[in-house]
Amino acid sequence: MNKNFFLIVACAVCSVFAVGCGRHAEERLLAETILGDASLMKVDSMARAVLADGFNAGSGYSQVWARDLNTFIEIACEENEVADIRNALLVFFAMQQPNDEMVDGYVLKGEFTWYDDHPYYSDAAPGHVGFKNTVETDQETSLIQAVGKYIRKTGDRSILVENVAGRTVMERMEAMVDYLMRERYDEKYGLLFGAMTADWGDVQPHDDFGCDMNELSYAAIDVYDNAMFMIALDCLQEMTDDASADDRWKRLHDSIAVNVRRHLWDSVRMKFVPHIYLGDSPIPEGFDENEVHFHGGTAVAIEAGLLTRDEISTVNRQMLENVRLSGMPSIGLTLYPPYPEGFFCGGMSHPYVYQNGGDWTWFGGRMIQQLIANGFVREAYDEVRPMIDRVIANVGFYEWYGMGGVPSGSGHFKGSAGVLAKAVGMFRDWAALHAGSTPGDVPAI
């Protein structure tokens, strides 16, 4: 055989080995940098102090919200008595309504001080008042996920058979899925719907209050609601011991996944369609909503397994470009471009305010988690820096940030603390594995 052939093979082997060694060296250096980064541990410590102080959403919020608790319950389980967290979850099930819908959250009756023309009550929780922003479709799915995370962290599966007003928690979660399929499922597209809001937000346009589905609402399908549903269905499969139920959740999950890809993923623009309207559209003439990138919904879609690794890389680059074009601080940028001036009512009528392009660590941190989970650790470490630095600079976990990085909203927002603390843990877990790893042990960055 030709000697040149053996020379070519030998060179190829050496080249592959060199690439592997180079990648290993880069991983090890990054791992050592992460393990030596005192700012990560400082933020983690600050977050844990915030999360040890009850289960309300944060300073300025006396209420316990399902969508918030879902994003900090894992760290809360490490910083609070397990029995207290269990009880906080059980109050939600006691507040479940006769039609099986779940409230957004609850508060002690004596602390219910704001105007609400439709508070929620339950004989099973006589000391509490519930509330719900009905433009959303993530209350049921948030609570199911929170229970799933609670069980993973504590191993307490007994909560599933806890009897709450005549039904077990598992039965009540199954009934919540039935409610969604009955009240918020569109047969034509095979997907859940809610009212048109800004990505994952709870404020609709053309309505001064903005949080209740009413005659001013525009029924719409988006990726966030359906990705949350998929994750909840995964949790139900994990929690059930019933083979027929497991099969039902799997078939429904797979159907939602297929329909999200079919109807909401734009394979040309390589992004999710913001909304599919089931009736009239509220979008003003001259504004192309399909140009809008929903950062939060995309992060949750990645968590639901809806994007390939190459697609994750692409949407992450898009997020970075959106940050550059907007001038906002981080990939926590809710959406880009923002909806035009005056489209929403109140302060959110201005671009880059609140959910109309404000910067929310609450969702940006979830994108960081997904970058780590999918092997983009270098990107995640670079992109988390603005979030880490502003927590330290502002001595707090602010709800959102405006243009110029101005902190706004709650100063100790537990959702922001929770997602960052979880991300820090993920960074350190990865780094501990890679600080002394050898090529081939773990997936490359």
Residue 225, token pair as written in the block: 């609601």
Share of the chain above pLDDT 90, in %: 88
What is the band of 231 on the pLDDT scale with cuts at 50, 70, 90?
very high
pTM of the model: 0.93
What is the band of 445 on the pLDDT scale with cuts at 50, 70, 90?
very low
Q: What is the pLDDT of residue 251?
A: 98
Residue 375, token pair as written in the block: 């092997």
Residue 327 one-letter amino acid:
G
In tens, the pLDDT along 177-223 reads 999 999 999 999 999 999 999 999 999 999 999 999 999 999 999 99
Q: What is the pLDDT of residue 111?
A: 81
What distance in Å separates the CA atoms of residue 282 and residue 295, rounded to the nearest whole number? 21
The CB-based long-range contact list for 436-442 (8 Å cut-off, 24+ gap) reads 436/28, 437/24, 437/27, 437/28, 437/31, 438/24, 439/20, 439/21, 439/23, 439/24, 440/20, 442/27
What are the CA-CA distances from residue 223 to residues 11, 88, 310, 359 (Å)? Answer: 48, 29, 19, 19
Q: What is the pLDDT of residue 7?
A: 53
Q: What is the pLDDT of residue 439?
A: 37
H or E segment to which residue 418 belongs: helix 414-434
Share of the chain above pLDDT 70, in %: 92
Q: For the chain, list the domains and their CATH numbers.
A: 27-434 (1.50.10.10)
Asked if the model's pLDDT at residue 323 lies above 90, the reply is yes
In tens, the pLDDT along 242-271 reads 999 999 999 999 999 999 999 999 999 999
Residues with Cβ within 8 Å of 425's Cβ and at least 6 positions away in sequence, in order, are: 44
Asked if the model's pLDDT at residue 105 lies above 60, the reply is yes
Q: How many CB atoms lie within 10 A of CB 135?
A: 23
What distance in Å separates the CA atoms of residue 126 and residue 64, rounded to the nearest whole number? 16
Q: Is 307 left (phi over 0), alpha (psi -120 to 50) or beta?
A: beta
